[in-house]
Each structure stands twice: as structure tokens, then as C-alpha cells.
């Protein structure tokens, strides 16, 4: 049941054979929710169907989304994959450490985000995730095929699920937990950035890097619905106060 709440999101996949292979490996490990963001290939072509084998249902039911925020609609947690170190303070975690975090009931729906075959995810796209994983590989040839990377993560999710049992495991829901969906938190980020630009705390050329820091702070807190509503209310009141002052 917990694996049903996990979305595998592919951003602009270019190879139909890869998409078919990913559908197959997802079904191998019990995942079924595939989302394609602005795909650059046809999931219904012969090669995709050939590689999917008996996972035609996963391939045919895949959702096509125009953008990553659309693909994440309704999700409460998201982990992004990256093949190379970034100039960030955020650690790149081992899949075994990070992926079980998505299996907590209160965190679902949740997503694992994979980038393009040739260039991965942009820094802007990585901003939509809360944690980041890097699959350990041979430093002399570290680049993994997209389907292989998805397969490793699907295996790890399945392995993590089967490693825990009983009421004491970390996947049990907390009755008091009501995590805010990512689109609600994203609304807060957008309004915060707009306000900080307006008051001169941010400048257009520094806004992306500064806002990335704010995102890191809030991602660590795991905002609940009532907390996100409170913060949005604060921003609205500040906007009102600024406009009222301007009128005076």
C-alpha cells in the first residue's frame, strides 16, 4: 500500500526505450505511478512497449505533466536524484538513508524525481525537492543509465518497506501530523520572494541563490498545513501594511 503512494517522476525523458524499461522495473518492485514531465519521446511507440514487456499497464497509465510543479501536485515530500556534486550546503544522501522517508504514511503522496538522460535536473528543478540522493558508483565511470538509476531506487524502496514490520516501525503515521502539500509550500515561497524583492532584501540577480537558502531552512522544518497557512497569513498582512503605508 505504501508503494502505491510513490510517484516516479521523469523530467523530459528523451528515450522511449528508457521509458519502457522504467515501466518494467517499476512493476518489478511494486510501483505503478509514473509521471512524465514534458516528455521528448513517445511512450506509446513500439520500442517503449517492447521494453515494457508485461508492464504495459504502467506505461499506458503514465501521467503526462507540462511542468515539474504540476507533476508534484498533491505531494507532501519529494526527493531528487543528482549524479554530480552541487555547489550547495545540502548533503547528497545515500538512497538507503533517504528513500525510506517517503514511505511514512503521513508523507504521502510522495515522489522521486529523475532528470534528463544527458544533463539531469537543473538547479531550479532541484529546488522543488526537500532531500537529494546520489547513487554511489565507480568514480571512473559514474554516469548511470536513467532506467538503471530508477531501478536501483525502486529496489531500495521495496527493500526498505520489507525491512520494517510491526507498529514500532518508522512508517507508522502520526495522528497529529498534517504535512502541507508541496504546492502550498511553493505558493509561500513565491509570495515570500515577491515581498522580499519589494522591500529590497532581495535583488533580482541574487534572488535565486538566496531563495534556495530559504527553501533549505523550511524544508528541514516540514511545514504542517496550519503552519503554512499562518505564514501565508503573515505575508498577506505585510503586503497589506506596505500598500496601506504607500497610500498614506
Q: Provide the pLDDT confidence category of residue 168 given band limits of 50, 70 and 90.
A: very low
The gap between the terminal CA atoms of the chain, to the nearest Å, is 57
Cα separation, 78 vs 107, in Å, equals 9
More confident residue, 182 or 80: 80
Question: Hunting for cell 545515500 — which residue is that?
Answer: 94
Q: Provide the pLDDT confidence category of residue 176 given band limits of 50, 70 and 90.
A: very low
Whether 13 shows a pLDDT value over 90: the answer reads yes
**Contact criterion met (CB below 8 Å) for 207 and 124:** no
Q: Provide the pLDDT confidence category of residue 62 given band limits of 50, 70 and 90.
A: very high
**Consecutive H or E run containing 135:** none
The residue among 239, 10, 192 whose CA lies nearest residue 111 is 10
CA atoms within 13 A on the CB side of 187: 17
pLDDT tens-digit profile of 85-103? 656 667 889 999 999 999 9
More confident residue, 35 or 198: 35
pLDDT given at position 1: 66
For each of the domains in the chain, give its residue range(s) and CATH number, in order of start.
3-163 (3.40.1280.10), 182-247 (1.10.8)
Cα separation, 24 vs 144, in Å, equals 17
Compute CA distances 45 → 38, 91, 118, 129, 213, whole Å. 16, 39, 21, 31, 42
**Contact criterion met (CB below 8 Å) for 36 and 16:** no
Amino acid at each position: 500500500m505504501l508503494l502505491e503512494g510513490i510517484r516516479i517522476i521523469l523530467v523530459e525523458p528523451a528515450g522511449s526505450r528508457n521509458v519502457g524499461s522504467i515501466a518494467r522495473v517499476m512493476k518489478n518492485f511494486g510501483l505503478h505511478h509514473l509521471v512524465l514531465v514534458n516528455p521528448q519521446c513517445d511512450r506509446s511507440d513500439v520500442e517503449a512497449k517492447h521494453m515494457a514487456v508485461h508492464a504495459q499497464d504502467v506505461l499506458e497509465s503514465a501521467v503526462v505533466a507540462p511542468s515539474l510543479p504540476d507533476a508534484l501536485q498533491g505531494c507532501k515530500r519529494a526527493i531528487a536524484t543528482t549524479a554530480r556534486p552541487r555547489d550547495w550546503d545540502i548533503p547528497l544522501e545515500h538512497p538507503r538513508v533517504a528513500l525510506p522517508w517517503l514511505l511514512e504514511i503521513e508523507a504521502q503522496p510522495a515522489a522521486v524525481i529523475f532528470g534528463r538522460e544527458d544533463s539531469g535536473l537543473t538547479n531550479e528543478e532541484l529546488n522543488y525537492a526537500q532531500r537529494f540522493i546520489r547513487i554511489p558508483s565507480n568514480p571512473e565511470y559514474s554516469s548511470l543509465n536513467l532506467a538503471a538509476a530508477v531501478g536501483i531506487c525502486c529496489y531500495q524502496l521495496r527493500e526498505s518497506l520489507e525491512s520494517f514490520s510491526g507498529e514500532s516501525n518508522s512508517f507508522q503515521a502520526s495522528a497529529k501530523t498534517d504535512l502541507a502539500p508541496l504546492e502550498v509550500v511553493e505558493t509561500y515561497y513565491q509570495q515570500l520572494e515577491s515581498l522580499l524583492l519589494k522591500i529590497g532584501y532581495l535583488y533580482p540577480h541574487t534572488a535565486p541563490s538566496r531563495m534556495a537558502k530559504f527553501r533549505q531552512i523550511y524544508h528541514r522544518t516540514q511545514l504542517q498545513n496550519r503552519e503554512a497557512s499562518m505564514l501565508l497569513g503573515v505575508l498577506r498582512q505585510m503586503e497589506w501594511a506596505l500598500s496601506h503605508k504607500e497610500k498614506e
